[in-house]
Amino acid sequence: MTTILTVVGARPQFIKAAAVSRAIRARDSMSEIMVHTGQHFDANMSDVFFDELEIAPPAHHLGIGGGGHGRMTGRMLEGIEGILEAGRPDWVLIYGDTNSTIAGALAAAKLHIPVAHVEAGLRSFNKRMPEEINRILTDHVSTLLFCPTQTAVDNLASEGITAGVHHVGDVMYDATLDAREKARETSDIVARLQLEPGKYVLSTVHRAENTDSRDALGAVLDHLKAKAAEVPVVLPLHPRTAGAVKKHGLDFDGLTVIDPVGYLDMAALLDGCAEVLTDSGGVQKEAYFHRKPCTTLRDETEWVETIEAGWNRLWKGADFVSPRKDIADYGDGKSAERILDLIASAG
């Protein structure tokens, strides 16, 4: 029996973990221990995802949310280390690029427990982003690196990382295919918000680069308000963004601001919208999976394939640069199975 300890802490990780956890449960040869760091501690950002995505409640909940990067990561590192010392799993499985990701990677690597990183090899080439530091360090201590695209494989090779690197496709696609069908059956959020399908824009804003500075956040909000003069703009409000708007003395005038939503409601909003405006890496891809044009509210993106395939653009001055086409790199919705096959074969 191969025991996998999974570390999650933020919304995109719950979604990715749901697809892989579902595949683990279907295998008699594997078991999973889930650790939730608490990085997203709001019930609408956390608990609802476990319920809707049918993820078993975490075996360990560290309750570590808020505070600066160093304090948060340090507390997570300490908490995860204790769990690993007590349980000694065969693998530690981590997702993405958050503080939870790097804490799980460092704790495992220092205890000589092999690390498997889902969504390895992504690079924005902007080291001012804390996520970029987390990605780079995590990849350099991982044993198995599961890349969603060939570009990610190439990024790792340019840093001298070739052992244990595998292009498996994107587990977010696995999750999206499942959620879209469930959302069509169960979610009424579009009707509740009195929106007309195909005639509203969906936006998310949460990145530190857009919220830490009054000028940066003001520019993003001005961009959204200009769009809202043409068509309703729905903004599920991230707690960080709510606090930043209050701190900087800004406002959401003209925008349809709603509380954070669960995954199925978010899938329904994506399914029904005409366009997406976001600074989230995960939502950029979800927009593509739903075949919605996306404007990324940043100066760069890790998901360069979405730009090359004509579905995405950067918000400052750039238009869609290519005719729209499908992105074969993201796979066929069976990435979770490939990940588990590779873990099993690695021993």
Task: CATH number of the domain at 226, please.
Answer: 3.40.50.2000
The answer as to whether 54 is a domain residue is yes
The answer as to whether 176 is a domain residue is no
The answer as to whether 206 is a domain residue is yes
Task: For residue 278, give the H/E element and its range.
Answer: strand 275-278
Tokens of 68: 């600066």
Q: Which of 36, 40, 167, 206 is catalytic?
A: 206
pLDDT tens-digit series, residues 291-316? 999 999 998 898 889 999 999 999 98
Say yes or no: 218 and 339 in one domain: no
The answer as to whether 24 is a domain residue is yes
Q: Which band of pLDDT confidence, cut at 50, 70 and 90, is reported for residue 47?
A: low
pLDDT tens-digit series, residues 133-169? 999 999 999 999 999 999 999 999 999 999 999 999 9
Q: What is the mean pLDDT of residues 82-111?
A: 97
Sheet holding 165-167, edge to edge: 60-61, 30-36, 2-8, 91-95, 115-118, 144-147, 165-167
Say yes or no: 162 and 41 in one domain: yes
pLDDT tens-digit series, residues 107-120? 999 999 999 999 99
Determine the 3-state secondary structure of 138 from DSSP. Answer: helix
What percent of the chain shows pLDDT beyond 70? 97
The answer as to whether 287 is a domain residue is yes
Say yes or no: 119 and 206 in one domain: no
The answer as to whether 186 is a domain residue is yes
The answer as to whether 82 is a domain residue is yes
What whole-number distance in Å separates Cα of residue 107 and Cα of residue 76? 9
Say yes or no: 156 and 17 in one domain: yes
Q: Report CA dihedral (260, 182, 311, 21) to the nearest 10 degrees.
A: 80
Say yes or no: 118 and 221 in one domain: no
Say yes or no: 203 and 337 in one domain: no
Say yes or no: 161 and 201 in one domain: no
The DSSP bridge pattern shows strands 2-8 and 256-258 to be unpaired
pLDDT tens-digit series, residues 248-295? 999 999 999 999 998 899 999 999 999 999 999 889 999 999 999 999
pLDDT score recorded for residue 264:
92
Say yes or no: 340 and 310 in one domain: no
Say yes or no: 324 and 335 in one domain: no
pLDDT of 45 > 60? The answer is no
Say yes or no: 7 and 93 in one domain: yes
Say yes or no: 256 and 294 in one domain: yes
What whole-number distance in Å separates Cα of residue 341 and Cα of residue 2? 12
**Catalytic annotation present for 40:** no
The answer as to whether 175 is a domain residue is no
Say yes or no: 56 and 185 in one domain: no
- The total number of structural domains in the chain stands at 2
Domain that holds residue 268: 181-328
